[in-house]
Amino acid sequence: MSEFKRQHPVAAVTRAIDLIRDNLITVIIILIFGAGGGGPSFLWMFAGLFVFLLIAGAAGWWRFVYRVEDGELQIRQGILVRKRFYMTRDRIQVIDVTSGIIQRIFGLVKVEIKTAGSTSREASLSAVSRAEADVLTDLLRKTPGSSRSPEKAASADDAEAARFTLPLKDLLIAASTSGSFGIALSIIATVFSQIEPLLDESEVYNWFLAVMPGETDTLFIVSVLLLFVVFAWLMSFFGTLFRFGDFNLTLHEDEIVIRRGIFEKKRITVPFNRIQAVRIVEGVLRQPFGYGTVYVESAGYGDQKGSGSVVLFPLIKQRELDAFLQRILPEYRCNLQAVKPPPRAVSRYIIRSAAVFALVLAGIHWLLGGGTFIWFLLIPGFFWGWLRFRDSAAGVDKERIVIRGRILARTTAVVRRNRAQDITGSSSWIQRIRGLANIDVSVASGDQGRKFQIRELDSRDAQMLLPWLEKDFRAGGGGERIPATDACLPGWGFSR
C-alpha cells in the first residue's frame, strides 16, 4: 500500500457528527437562545449550521489521506492547517477496530491506533471497509508471530482464554440502577425548552390545564417533576442497556480486551502495563443491593478521549469482587487494616457537606422563592456529611494503598506503590489546631491524572502514611505500625 488513499465517503458524515459532539455545549447554547427568538430565522440558522457542518465534514474527508509505507502509518489531513502525522509500527501498541451506528449501516468499521507511552498519541480512521481494516492491521502489526499479534490472541481466544460476560439479569440490574439521571435530566430539560413554546399554543396543553384543577399548583409541579424523573430514569436505563449490552471481557497475555455495546460496538484494549489503579464505585442506587462497578485507571487508554477511566466490569456483587480481582488483576487484591478519621472530625465532614446543601438551597430559595420550610432539606445534608465521614478510610501495606471515600457514590481506589506518582499531606490552619490532616495520592490517568484523597485523618496517622512512597517503607514492622481500626479495606468478603 504505497498510494495515499481516502476513507469511505461516509467519513464525511461521521466527521460532521464528531464536530457536533465536540461542540455540543455551543450547539446547546445556540439551541436554547435561538429558540427564544423563535420564528423562521432560527430555523434558517439551524439549517445553515447543519449545512456548514456537512461541508466541513466533506472537506475534512477530502483532505484526509493515509497510507502505510515501510511499516509507518502516514496521515495527511487538515482543511486550513495541514497536518502530517507519522506513526511507526514499533511504537504502535494497540489497534482497536470498532463500529458505531453509522459505520454499521454501511458495513464499515472505525480503526483506532494508539501508541505506547504515557502521553499516548492516537490516530483514527473513522470509516473504512472491514477488508481495508484487516489489511491495515496486517501491515501495522509488529513482526508476525510476536506475542501481541492479533492472530495469536485470537487463537488463544478459542483456546480457552479467560472470558467474562455480563449475564442478562445483571445487565438489567445495572441499567435500572445506573444513576446517570443528571445527564438525562439536563437533556430532557433542553428538549423540553424547545418543545415548550410549541406546546404552549397547542390544544393538548390547554386541555391539560383545563383538566388540572386550578388550585393544585404544587400538585402540578410535583407531577411534572415526577414525569421528568421517570423520563430520566428511562433514558439512563436504555442508555446503559445499549452501552453495556453484549459485554464481554477477555484476558490475553499482556492486555485486557473489552467488547461492549448493542448498536455502537466498542472494543477497548487495556495493556496490563498501562493500568495505574483500580477503582470500585458503589452508586447510591447500587450499594444497598450490594453491587458496584469496577473501573481501571489507565495511562492513555481511556473509554473516552482524554480520560483514562475504563469500565472494567459494569456490575458486580461485592461478594464476588475478590474472586474477580483474583482472576484478572491479582496484584490489586488485598485486605488491609483501615485507618479512619477520628470521631472529632465528624463535625468537619458534616459542616462541609451541609454548606454545599445550604448554598444550593439558598440558590433555589432566591430563584424560586418557597417558604422557610425548605431549610428542613438541610437535614439530608447533615446525613450526607455523616455518611462521608463514615465511609472515609485508608489502608496501606508495602505494595499498595487503598483509599475509600464518598462524594455521592462510595468509591474505593486501590493504587499500587509503583504506580503512585506522588503523595501529599496537607493541613489548613484550623486542621492543625485540631490535629487533623488530609492525604492525597496522584496516579496517571488519561491526560491529567487523578487524585485520591482522604480528609481529616488524625495528623499522626497522616504522618505515618506520608512515607508510604519512600523507598524503604515498611508498614506494620514491629511496634511501629500505623494504628488501625478494626475495620478492613476493601472488606468485601475477603476472609469469608
Partner 1 sequence: MYSAERIKKEPSKRITPRAIRAWQWSAAAGNLVYFIVPVGYWSAFGADSSSGIAILLILAAAVLILWILGITLLPYLRWKKWRYSIDENEIDLKRGILIVRRTLIPLRRVQHVDTRQGPVLRYYNLATVTISTAATTHEIPALDAETADKVRDVISKYARLAEEDV
* Binding of residue 14 to partner 1 (CB under 8 A): no
Site string (246-275) toward partner 1, x via CB under 8 A = ---------------------------x--
Q: Which of 206, 326, 426, 485 is the binder for partner 1 (CB under 8 A)?
A: 426
Judged by CB, which is closer to partner 1: 269, or 445? 445
Q: Is 223 in the site for partner 1 (CB under 8 A)?
A: no
Residue 75 C-alpha from the chain's centroid: 29
Q: How far apart are CA 329 and CA 319, in angstroms?
A: 16
> Considering the rule CB under 8 A, would residue 422 count as an interface residue with partner 1?
yes
Our finding on whether 470 is near partner 1 (CB under 8 A) is: yes
The SS3 call for residue 306 is coil
What one-letter code names the amino acid at 53? L
- Choosing from 41, 210, 432, 485, the residue that interacts with partner 1 (CB under 8 A) is 432
Question: Which 399-418 positions form the footprint of partner 1 (CB under 8 A)?
Answer: 418
Question: In the structure grid, which three cell numbers stand for residue 72, read together?
Answer: 509507518
479: contact with partner 1 by CB under 8 A: yes
Q: Is 475 exposed, middle or buried (0-12, 13-18, 19+ CB in 10 A)?
A: buried
Q: Which letter does DSSP use for residue 99 in this model?
A: B
310 binds partner 1 (CB under 8 A): no
Least Cβ distance, residue 324 to partner 1 (angstroms): 23
| Cis geometry, peptide bond prior to residue 490 (ω within 30 degrees of 0) | yes
Burial 284-303 (b: 16+ CB within 10 A, else e): eebbeeebbbbbbbbbbbbb
Half-sphere exposure of 11 (CA within 13 A, CB side): 22
Q: Choose between 127 and 420: whose C-beta lies nearer to partner 1.
A: 420
Query: Among 136, 312, 394, 420, which residue sits at the site for partner 1 (rule: CB under 8 A)?
Result: 420
Query: Where does this chain touch partner 1 (CB under 8 A) — which range of 43-51, 80-88, 388-396, 445-453?
Result: 445-453
Q: How far is the CB of 419 from partner 1 (least distance, A)?
A: 8
Cell of 248: 464481554
CA atoms of 405 and 69, how far apart (whole Å): 50
**All cell numbers assigned to 343:** 470521631
**Which of 75, 87, 299, 484 touches partner 1 by CB under 8 A?**
299
Residue of the chain from 450, 456, 490, 491 that contacts partner 1 (CB under 8 A): 450
- Pick the binder of partner 1 from 201, 203, 480, 486 (CB under 8 A): 480
Strand order in the sheet with 92-98: 92-98, 108-115, 122-129
Q: Is 463 in the site for partner 1 (CB under 8 A)?
A: yes
Helix (H) or strand (E) holding 314: strand 309-317
Instruction: Please check whether residue 16 is in contact with residue 177, taking contact to mean a CB–CB distance below 8 angstroms.
Output: no
Binding site for partner 1 (CB under 8 A): 118, 273, 299, 418, 420-429, 432, 442-445, 448-451, 460, 463-464, 466-467, 469-471, 479-480, 483
